[in-house]
Amino acid sequence: MIIFELLLSCSNDQAKDNQCISSKIEYVTSINSPTTGIVNEMINIEVNFRVFNGCGEFGKFIVTENGNSRVIEVEAKYVGCICTQDIPIRTTNYVFKASQAGEYELNFRSSPTEFITASLTIN
Protein backbone atom coordinates (compact mmCIF):
# COMPACT_ATOMS: atom_id res chain seq x y z
CA MET A 1 0.00 0.00 0.00
CA ILE A 2 1.33 3.44 -0.97
CA ILE A 3 0.19 6.53 0.90
CA PHE A 4 0.71 9.99 -0.49
CA GLU A 5 0.54 13.10 1.62
CA LEU A 6 0.20 16.52 0.20
CA LEU A 7 0.76 19.53 2.37
CA LEU A 8 -0.34 22.90 1.06
CA SER A 9 0.14 26.22 2.72
CA CYS A 10 0.06 29.84 1.77
CA SER A 11 1.06 33.10 3.30
CA ASN A 12 -1.55 35.55 4.55
CA ASP A 13 -1.01 37.65 1.41
CA GLN A 14 -1.82 34.68 -0.83
CA ALA A 15 -4.95 33.91 1.21
CA LYS A 16 -6.18 37.50 0.70
CA ASP A 17 -5.51 37.32 -3.04
CA ASN A 18 -7.59 34.13 -3.33
CA GLN A 19 -10.57 35.48 -1.38
CA CYS A 20 -13.60 36.07 -3.59
CA ILE A 21 -15.23 39.47 -3.00
CA SER A 22 -17.66 41.30 -5.25
CA SER A 23 -20.64 43.65 -5.05
CA LYS A 24 -23.83 44.05 -7.07
CA ILE A 25 -26.99 46.15 -7.02
CA GLU A 26 -29.86 43.92 -5.87
CA TYR A 27 -33.58 44.61 -5.97
CA VAL A 28 -35.82 45.30 -2.99
CA THR A 29 -38.64 42.79 -2.54
CA SER A 30 -40.58 44.61 0.22
CA ILE A 31 -40.37 47.35 2.82
CA ASN A 32 -42.03 48.05 6.15
CA SER A 33 -42.27 51.79 6.76
CA PRO A 34 -44.21 54.16 8.98
CA THR A 35 -46.15 56.93 7.20
CA THR A 36 -45.34 59.79 9.57
CA GLY A 37 -42.40 61.14 11.50
CA ILE A 38 -41.01 64.17 13.28
CA VAL A 39 -38.33 66.60 12.09
CA ASN A 40 -34.81 65.41 13.08
CA GLU A 41 -36.18 62.05 14.30
CA MET A 42 -34.53 58.88 12.99
CA ILE A 43 -37.06 56.70 11.18
CA ASN A 44 -36.20 53.02 10.64
CA ILE A 45 -37.53 51.42 7.48
CA GLU A 46 -37.17 47.65 7.19
CA VAL A 47 -35.89 46.71 3.73
CA ASN A 48 -35.97 43.17 2.32
CA PHE A 49 -33.86 42.32 -0.73
CA ARG A 50 -32.90 39.17 -2.61
CA VAL A 51 -29.30 38.04 -3.15
CA PHE A 52 -28.30 35.50 -5.80
CA ASN A 53 -26.42 33.07 -3.51
CA GLY A 54 -25.68 32.28 0.12
CA CYS A 55 -22.58 34.52 0.23
CA GLY A 56 -24.67 37.65 -0.38
CA GLU A 57 -25.24 40.14 2.40
CA PHE A 58 -26.01 43.83 2.82
CA GLY A 59 -23.23 46.14 1.69
CA LYS A 60 -24.61 49.69 1.56
CA PHE A 61 -27.39 51.94 0.33
CA ILE A 62 -26.87 54.12 -2.71
CA VAL A 63 -29.12 57.17 -2.43
CA THR A 64 -29.90 59.76 -5.10
CA GLU A 65 -31.71 62.85 -3.77
CA ASN A 66 -33.94 65.22 -5.72
CA GLY A 67 -35.70 67.66 -3.38
CA ASN A 68 -37.96 65.64 -1.07
CA SER A 69 -37.67 62.56 -3.27
CA ARG A 70 -35.05 59.82 -2.94
CA VAL A 71 -34.14 56.85 -5.12
CA ILE A 72 -32.61 54.16 -2.91
CA GLU A 73 -30.71 51.13 -4.18
CA VAL A 74 -29.24 48.24 -2.23
CA GLU A 75 -25.67 47.25 -3.01
CA ALA A 76 -25.10 43.70 -1.79
CA LYS A 77 -21.63 42.37 -1.13
CA TYR A 78 -20.59 38.81 -1.82
CA VAL A 79 -17.74 37.43 0.27
CA GLY A 80 -16.53 33.88 -0.29
CA CYS A 81 -15.58 31.57 -3.11
CA ILE A 82 -17.81 28.62 -2.21
CA CYS A 83 -21.43 29.73 -1.75
CA THR A 84 -24.71 27.91 -1.35
CA GLN A 85 -26.88 28.14 -4.45
CA ASP A 86 -30.03 29.25 -2.66
CA ILE A 87 -31.50 32.69 -3.39
CA PRO A 88 -32.21 34.08 0.08
CA ILE A 89 -34.01 37.24 1.14
CA ARG A 90 -31.92 39.45 3.43
CA THR A 91 -33.23 42.18 5.74
CA THR A 92 -31.63 45.46 6.78
CA ASN A 93 -32.80 48.86 8.03
CA TYR A 94 -32.69 52.10 6.11
CA VAL A 95 -32.55 55.07 8.48
CA PHE A 96 -34.23 58.26 7.26
CA LYS A 97 -33.97 61.62 9.01
CA ALA A 98 -35.59 64.79 7.63
CA SER A 99 -34.34 68.20 8.73
CA GLN A 100 -37.50 69.96 7.49
CA ALA A 101 -41.22 69.29 7.71
CA GLY A 102 -42.93 68.15 4.52
CA GLU A 103 -43.95 65.24 2.31
CA TYR A 104 -41.13 62.84 1.42
CA GLU A 105 -41.10 60.06 -1.17
CA LEU A 106 -38.58 57.23 -0.73
CA ASN A 107 -38.37 55.05 -3.85
CA PHE A 108 -36.67 51.69 -3.29
CA ARG A 109 -35.57 50.10 -6.57
CA SER A 110 -37.42 46.79 -7.07
CA SER A 111 -36.50 46.19 -10.75
CA PRO A 112 -34.64 48.08 -13.46
CA THR A 113 -37.73 50.27 -14.02
CA GLU A 114 -39.93 49.86 -10.91
CA PHE A 115 -39.90 51.01 -7.30
CA ILE A 116 -41.55 50.28 -3.97
CA THR A 117 -42.44 53.68 -2.53
CA ALA A 118 -42.67 54.83 1.07
CA SER A 119 -44.53 58.12 1.43
CA LEU A 120 -43.70 59.95 4.66
CA THR A 121 -45.31 63.02 6.20
CA ILE A 122 -42.81 64.75 8.47
CA ASN A 123 -44.16 67.24 11.04
> Residue 18 — pLDDT band, cuts 50, 70, 90?
low
To the nearest 5 percent, what fractions of the chain are helix, strand and coil?
Answer: 5, 55, 40
**Is 72 inside a domain boundary?**
yes
Are 122 and 100 a contacting pair, CB within 8 Å? yes
> Residue 19 — pLDDT band, cuts 50, 70, 90?
confident
Instruction: Provide the domain count of the chain.
Output: 1
User: What integer best gives the mean pLDDT of the chain?
Assistant: 89
For 91-104, what is each residue's pLDDT tens digit?
999 999 999 999 99
**Is 3 inside a domain boundary?**
no
**Is 113 inside a domain boundary?**
yes
pLDDT at 4 over 80: no
**Is 96 inside a domain boundary?**
yes
pTM of the model: 0.83
**Is 103 inside a domain boundary?**
yes
Domain that holds residue 101: 13-122
Which candidate, 96, 92, 115, places its Cα nearest to that of 42? 96
Cα separation, 68 vs 56, in Å, equals 31
**Is 110 inside a domain boundary?**
yes
pLDDT of residue 53: 96
